[in-house]
Structure 1
């Protein structure tokens, strides 16, 4: 199982020095990837966890990190596809892939915030057909040839998007989702599945099985399908309901449980630690805590 970490995009540690410094530090410590996430707005009176109240744009943050690194992969888990045109996202994703030398992974979801749906004038429904057509547009544009799309939701006149991505076929596309139909879709048409931060270890194990079974039924190699999990870390405080909690050894044991559940990549996302990813946290203490955790859990030991 690959070990990655979260990019500083939420709360007080989401500043220029942290984004660049922790990206370089993650690369130095041998982390496989650096993952960001998207949150546009916090509605007045909307009940949101601290991690969602102040968030940088993930594509811009990862581009900033790309400029200071050369090996660590850069992923977003996830961009909510109803919020923007697939053509616009294809250009953004391709640009980041080119500027990073082919290090970008694109996770997509359909969103859950009514405030953001209203503010972007978007509608996630019908989720299944919209998602499949969105991926068709992305892959058409990633191919770099003159092509067109006449779909139910999206239209691309005969055209070519250049330059093409560095990665053949474009950045790998992973899908989020928790419903069985979404899990099967990830196994059938995507490079893999990105779990929700709220998913329990049994949820992950069950989801991985559904995704891989769907891949096999679609004639794909189930062993090649990626299962990427955002790991919420509670360092120093053991909570039996949270596998990645307690001492460093207990957290590593918890990571091993994810590997046994079929996870191919686990990223420790420190944005979910209120002492780091909250806008009300102490900046100095947040940076020191993040450095301590990042160093203690480094895959290079």
Structure 2
């Protein structure tokens, strides 16, 4: 009999900035052992290559789903990206979740890498190109996403269903795009349950308007989850990470979505520690423990309202709030699987009652 957590909960491997990719496999095995249903990897160039890491996880785990959250359509040739996705789906026995997004790294632009802007038209067209390649078509495409006279994967193709394509976003128009053309959406962290309720409604309504089954378009919410940690470690994981989020342009967006006054974000960006950063991202310059002092400007009620913090039981209760609000699945972020053991157990205990 499966556990509720295997249908509803996941976590990241290698959360945050890392220089060593090897712990990913052990963390994934732990996630599978404690009853999580999905492990996720966020792509970081140089240390978190999804083909390499998710391939290793696919070959060492047996049942847990394996999610990429997220890559980008235009950082690889369409053939290369489609090949990676279908190979991971085959290698994992159909357990792969293919997440894409369009966000730029704060402080840089896609044009710095010689790439065009990631418009909604580009996202939609490249999702279509990828699916057609997975189905065995030879694709001829000329449009905003590029110029490809004849694309085709080599035969025979793996005898597996294509992986779902998920879109990482939170903007209304892109959420509507996800509802119309993608298999699901991955929402970022630090959104309150009420905000997730509203954004999930945008996705589901767009799916229904497009003649699709809203229930077939998954809403996956990301929730910073830290249970039973000493106060100092909790502050580093939750508030230190929040500084990295709010120092970027995402801070303005999440404050607006949650109905928060943006004044603390302005004060955060004016902190002396960031004086010489310019447009550079704090998360590329500082470790979370180096940002705890800066985090004092972030209201504690923001973190309390948008994260799962405290005892394992309290964290499990908060996760249920997000599910009740309309999330179909939750990514427990900020802690490795080992640190999520008590939260997963508390979640399953209550769900079984």
TM-score (norm 2): 0.69
Give the aligned partner of residue 339 of structure 2: 292
The question of whether the paired residues in 2 share the 8 Å contact of 1:134 and 1:154 is answered with no
**Where is the helix percentage greater, Structure 1 or Structure 2?**
2
The question of whether the paired residues in 1 share the 8 Å contact of 2:31 and 2:338 is answered with no
Query: Structure 2 CA distance, aligned partners of 1:12 and 1:159?
Result: 35
Give the aligned partner of residue 261 of structure 2: none
Give the aligned partner of residue 37 of structure 1: 42
Which ranges in structure 2 are unaligned for 5 or more consecutive residues? Answer: 1-6, 235-302
Distance change >3 Å, CA 152–CA 71, structure 1 → 2: same
Query: Structure 1 CA distance, aligned partners of 2:90 and 2:42?
Result: 20
Q: CA deviation at 1:227?
A: 0.6
Distance change >3 Å, CA 100–CA 89, structure 1 → 2: same
| Aligned partner of 1:244 among 308, 311, 315 | 308
Q: CA deviation at 1:116?
A: 5.9
* 1:84-103 alignment, distance < 5 Å: 84-103=76-95
Which ranges in structure 1 are unaligned for 5 or more consecutive residues? Answer: 42-54, 277-289
Query: Structure 2 CA distance, aligned partners of 1:72 and 1:143?
Result: 25
Aligned length: 268
Q: CA deviation at 1:300?
A: 5.1
| Aligned partner of 1:196 among 170, 173, 188 | 188
Q: Which stretch shifts more, 30-39 or 194-203?
A: 194-203
Instruction: Tell me if 1:26 matches 2:31.
Output: yes
Give the aligned partner of residue 268 of structure 1: 332
Tell me how large the CA RMSD over aligned residues is: 2.4
Q: Write the deviation string for residues 114-147 of structure 1: whole angstroms up to 9, x where unpaired.
A: 536255321224x111111111110111111334
Instruction: Tell me if 1:122 matches 2:115.
Output: yes
Distance change >3 Å, CA 13–CA 159, structure 1 → 2: closer
Q: Point out 4+ residue stretches in structure 1 off by more than 6 angstroms.
A: none
Query: Structure 1 CA distance, aligned partners of 2:122 and 2:173?
Result: 14
Q: Which stretch shifts more, 236-245 or 78-87?
A: 236-245
Q: CA deviation at 1:108?
A: 1.0
Give the aligned partner of residue 3 of structure 1: 9
